[in-house]
Amino acid sequence: MDRDWSFLEQNSSNGKMKRVVDAAQVEQNSRVVVCLGTQQFVDYLCMTNPCVLSVMHYSLLELANIKEKHDSVKCRQGDIVGMPSSSPPLDVVFINCLPALNHSLPRIFEALVRRCAPGARLIISDTQGRDQLRVHKKYNPDVITGDLPDQVELEKVLWRYPLQLISFSDEADFYLAVLKVCEDENSKT
């Protein structure tokens, strides 16, 4: 049964989406994956940044709606952990609702490091923020199964991977963590 993901569309202003997309530094030929992105976010990304875009989502309905509007976007059911390793290295990965992923942070980072090019950016965001996430978790416990990591929690996990925390914002109504895949282990400092 396909779950209802429409609650993620609420209160996602263009200003917040712009902050998220700007943090990724998407270039014209960037290979980009959006994991659990809303239709509104994919629309914004397609409108503002021409790139090679793939969308991964658990919902076939969400993917069908995205594909109907954006035929050039590659759509795949699932999440970043299940992405085929034969795919070309990624330049940008957006995870728009981390608490809905059915995997731990270490598992997600392990999968991403193998699939990303050196210098790639990983953007973990929630344009509604932690306060609204608590409400969604209460009313959608089958979809929202986790929480957003705070900065200390994120840094504790990051030290094991060639990932660097570039910026972090955890406001009541907006969450953004920008990570970069290090060129080599020495560039992590």
124-155 residue pLDDT tens: 999 888 888 888 788 878 888 888 999 999 99
Residue 60: is it exposed, middle or buried by C-beta count within 10 angstroms (0-12/13-18/19+)? exposed
Q: Determine the pLDDT at residue 89.
A: 95
DSSP 4-41: P-GGGGTT--HHHHHHHHHHHT--TT-EEEEES--HHH
Instruction: Give the tens place of pLDDT for each residue, 71-87.
Output: 999 999 998 888 877 78
State what percent of residues in the chain have pLDDT above 90: 60
Q: What are phi and psi of 170, to 5 degrees?
A: -130, 85
Per-residue confidence (pLDDT) for residue 130, from 0 to 100:
87
- Residue 99: its pLDDT value, please? 79
| pTM of the model as a whole | 0.89
Residues of the chain scoring pLDDT < 50: 1, 5
Q: Which residues pair with 177 in a beta bridge?
A: 124, 168
C-alpha closest to that of 97 among 64, 69, 130, 124: 124
Measured distance CA(31)–CA(22) in Å, rounded: 15
All structural domains of the chain: 6-188 (3.40.50.150)
Cα dihedral 77, 82, 83, 89 sign:
positive
What is the reported pLDDT for 128? Answer: 87
Question: Backbone phi, then psi, for 154, in 5-degree steps?
Answer: -65, -45
